[in-house]
Chains A and B, each alone.
Chain A
């Protein structure tokens, strides 16, 4: 068996898997019939449809020739992890994690952390430039979001403002 298009092959598998999962999940709800549709009716048929589509895509990927094998290529792990992490850290700074006792550090601290973590995703970043950028962003966000738009944020660390 030869994979002619890597991208299509794996996306087909993904659609099949997710389709089956949704269809299987739908059977745990009341499916009903056309005249009296239960909560499971629509998702069940959509799930089945998606699995069929996924199977077709996978089949096509094994039979139809594509240019250069349509390789997925290398995964950019560093930017992926750092960008998502920056977002998560910022969320924790704003909301805190009461379940494990992490206090909310507030928006300003969050912006500095986010900027540094995100900047590290690109090669050749400099501490000084990033620090300046973070400061500008922190000041700008304070003016725009807290003063002008009056969004309700924890701005400073919770243990200072109480």
Chain B
């Protein structure tokens, strides 16, 4: 079995002391930011990118990946104990998790979330390992026309599956694409939109955008709201282990959540957030057993399923990144940046040119999941203490880490001015109800899209029909159009709005 050979290679890489250490660091940081509301994986990964310059690429990616899936574990703790989503993907966990905590069943809720996530993580990793090679084969058949269509599908998928206004989300993508074009055009050497500022000819750093819009924009809008009274169920976490009945109830829910999460994670625009929403909706549709606690009043299925789904989704969203080089969500867009920093061009060639990186990263995810279960269940007390730290002490620290991160990217004050500007822009986005995630995705894909469009049209001598006459490209475009049509259907439209207003 080739799969086992690959995994053996991967574990060989992942089990070296330095990679184990960075995996642990990533998992701890991920849990930390997962537990803390008001800071997400996008801002954290952006902050830590500069710090990974000095690391070997494998270790850097292992750590950054750990932050993403680690955050899915940590987010549930806050959701269950404080009724605040520590991570946006844990928003639905609040509903039943908090009710369980109020009934003195915080322990089983935490255990359901942790064990469900672990199971989902193991399955997600296996799927990633099994599906990556065939998809990579397919990717080698892709020409520029296919890549352009694939990116179009990815971007459309990202807005269709995201919450909020469709038109605004598409406009945000276009804005992102345009911002991505700022800087020197690789083909002609013309510095576009640089206003004769030498630093701008290199383009805007994506760390600057991610940090300004996600980090500062959110801190400012958090501060403008009065602090919520936090009621932490610290004393009541006793009897961590679920009863036999709990296991019986949650096992099928975990399975369903994992399946759904794995499938939705691969989709463009998918990932942890979408998976958790979808799986909670699915659980609510399932028939209730007699004597089961209704949803919204502490049903363990309402915790186990979305928590499994968000972890499965966060693992499988690496598939499009590692095989096609196309990031399906904002976190993966940052991973593209991380790979580029280390001179690795994301795409199908990674698997053959850097097999130890590819399989090492995958294997590390399994190890990371095992670490996270230990971090989050037996050591839960430590994280609960952290929740009692008021926001007043947290946000200056976040501001500081952002500032250090920005400055150390290029050791240049220019980036500091830029992040200030993007902080203001980020706050404007919050005020105008424009979601920033599509912008970041567009920003990363902008130059790639232009390059592939240019190549495709050059090969076809300016004939646009190349996108519909090549079968794979046509199929991808049809899928993109279908997605748009489906969400615009009145019946689906109202359901979509309903699904995201779940609270």
Instruction: State the A residues within 8 Å of B (CB).
Output: 7-8, 10-11, 14-15, 18-19, 22, 25-26, 29-30, 33-43, 46-47, 49-50, 53-54, 56-57, 60, 70, 72-76, 79-80, 83-84, 86-88, 90-92, 94-95, 97, 107, 110-111, 114-115, 118-119, 121-122, 124-125, 129-130, 133-134, 137, 141, 145, 149-153
B412 touches A95 (CB 8 A): yes
A95 touches B416 (CB 8 A): yes
Which 7 pairs across A and B sit closest by C-beta, in order of nearness? A91-B416, A76-B224, A35-B462, A34-B462, A95-B413, A79-B223, A11-B432
> Binary interface profile of B, 151-188, with partner A (CB < 8 Å = 1, else 0)?
00000000000000101101100110110010001011
Instruction: Indicate whether A114 sits within 8 Å of B167 (C-beta atoms), given known contacts A38-B188, A91-B416, A119-B392.
Output: no
The answer, yes or no, to whether B342 is at the interface (CB within 8 Å) is no
The answer, yes or no, to whether B237 is at the interface (CB within 8 Å) is no
For B406, the chain A residues whose CB sits under 8 A away are 87, 91
Within 8 A of A (CB), among B181-235: 181, 185, 187-188, 190, 192-193, 216, 219-221, 223-224
Across the interface, B420 reaches (CB within 8 A) one of A88, A115, A129, namely A88
A87 touches B185 (CB 8 A): no
The answer, yes or no, to whether B28 is at the interface (CB within 8 Å) is no
What is the minimal beta-carbon distance from A26 to any residue of chain B, in angstroms? 8
Question: Using a Cβ–Cβ cut-off of 8 Å, how many residues does chain B contribute to the interface with A?
Answer: 65
Q: How far is the CA of A150 from the CA of B461 in the complex (A)?
A: 52
What is the minimal beta-carbon distance from B380 to any residue of chain A, in angstroms? 24
For A79, the chain B residues whose CB sits under 8 A away are 219-220, 223-224
A87 touches B399 (CB 8 A): yes
A29 touches B403 (CB 8 A): no
A90 touches B400 (CB 8 A): yes
> Quick check: which of B115-123, B258-266, B369-377, B450-458 contacts chain A, the rest being far away?
B450-458
Interface centre among A14, A46, A56, A87 (most CB of B within 10 A): A87
For B168, the chain A residues whose CB sits under 8 A away are 8, 11, 57
| Chain A: CB-nearest residue to B398 | A118
A91 touches B413 (CB 8 A): yes
The answer, yes or no, to whether B140 is at the interface (CB within 8 Å) is no
A83 touches B411 (CB 8 A): no
A83 touches B190 (CB 8 A): no
The answer, yes or no, to whether B427 is at the interface (CB within 8 Å) is yes
B178 touches A39 (CB 8 A): no
The answer, yes or no, to whether B407 is at the interface (CB within 8 Å) is yes
The answer, yes or no, to whether B491 is at the interface (CB within 8 Å) is no
What is the minimal beta-carbon distance from A68 to any residue of chain B, in angstroms? 13
What is the minimal beta-carbon distance from B502 to any residue of chain A, in angstroms? 17
B223 touches A11 (CB 8 A): no
Q: How far is the CA of A110 from the CA of B407 in the complex (A)?
A: 12
Chosen A-B contacts, 27 in total, with CB atoms closer than 8 Å, are A8-B165, A11-B432, A11-B433, A15-B171, A15-B174, A34-B464, A36-B458, A37-B187, A50-B174, A57-B167, A57-B171, A72-B431, A75-B431, A80-B427, A87-B399, A87-B416, A87-B423, A90-B400, A91-B413, A95-B416, A114-B403, A118-B396, A133-B396, A137-B396, A149-B54, A151-B51, A152-B408
For A137, the chain B residues whose CB sits under 8 A away are 396-397, 400
Instruction: Indicate whether A35 sits within 8 Å of B431 (C-beta atoms), given known contacts A86-B399, A87-B423.
Output: no
What is the minimal beta-carbon distance from B469 to any residue of chain A, in angstroms? 15
A37 touches B193 (CB 8 A): no
The answer, yes or no, to whether B417 is at the interface (CB within 8 Å) is yes
A151 touches B408 (CB 8 A): yes
B188 touches A30 (CB 8 A): yes
For B219, the chain A residues whose CB sits under 8 A away are 79, 83
A37 touches B224 (CB 8 A): no
B193 touches A83 (CB 8 A): no
For A75, the chain B residues whose CB sits under 8 A away are 431
Interface centre among B165, B167, B187 (most CB of A within 10 A): B167
Q: How far is the CA of A28 from the CA of B371 in the complex (A)?
A: 55
Q: How far is the CA of A83 from the CA of B187 in the complex (A)?
A: 39
Instruction: Indicate whether A43 sits within 8 Å of B224 (C-beta atoms), given known contacts A92-B413, A137-B400.
Output: no
A153 touches B408 (CB 8 A): yes
| Chain B: CB-nearest residue to A86 | B399
For A94, the chain B residues whose CB sits under 8 A away are 407, 413, 416
The answer, yes or no, to whether B393 is at the interface (CB within 8 Å) is yes
For A42, the chain B residues whose CB sits under 8 A away are 181, 449-450, 453-454
The answer, yes or no, to whether B419 is at the interface (CB within 8 Å) is yes
B192 touches A76 (CB 8 A): no
| Chain A: CB-nearest residue to B226 | A123
For A70, the chain B residues whose CB sits under 8 A away are 433
Q: How far is the CA of A90 from the CA of B416 in the complex (A)?
A: 9
A39 touches B404 (CB 8 A): no
Question: In the complex, given contacts A46-B174, A153-B407, what are 12 additional A-B residue pairs having Cβ atoms less than 8 angstroms apart?
Answer: A25-B192, A29-B192, A34-B457, A37-B454, A49-B174, A60-B167, A83-B219, A86-B403, A87-B216, A94-B416, A137-B396, A150-B54
What is the minimal beta-carbon distance from B434 to any residue of chain A, in angstroms? 5
Within 8 A of A (CB), among B466-500: none
B216 touches A84 (CB 8 A): yes
| Chain A: CB-nearest residue to B189 | A39
Across the interface, B220 reaches (CB within 8 A) one of A8, A76, A134, namely A76
For B393, the chain A residues whose CB sits under 8 A away are 129, 133
Instruction: Indicate whether A88 sits within 8 Å of B395 (C-beta atoms), given known contacts A7-B432, A57-B168, A152-B411.
Output: no
Across the interface, A84 reaches (CB within 8 A) one of B192, B193, B424, namely B424
The answer, yes or no, to whether B402 is at the interface (CB within 8 Å) is yes
What is the minimal beta-carbon distance from B37 to any residue of chain A, in angstroms? 15
Q: How far is the CA of A94 from the CA of B54 in the complex (A)?
A: 21
What is the minimal beta-carbon distance from B456 to any residue of chain A, in angstroms? 10
What is the minimal beta-carbon distance from B390 to any residue of chain A, in angstroms? 10
Q: How far is the CA of A111 from the CA of B401 in the complex (A)?
A: 10
For B402, the chain A residues whose CB sits under 8 A away are 87
Q: How far is the CA of A95 from the CA of B498 in the complex (A)?
A: 50
What is the minimal beta-carbon distance from B191 to any residue of chain A, in angstroms? 9
Q: How far is the CA of A39 from the CA of B416 in the complex (A)?
A: 28
B457 touches A35 (CB 8 A): yes
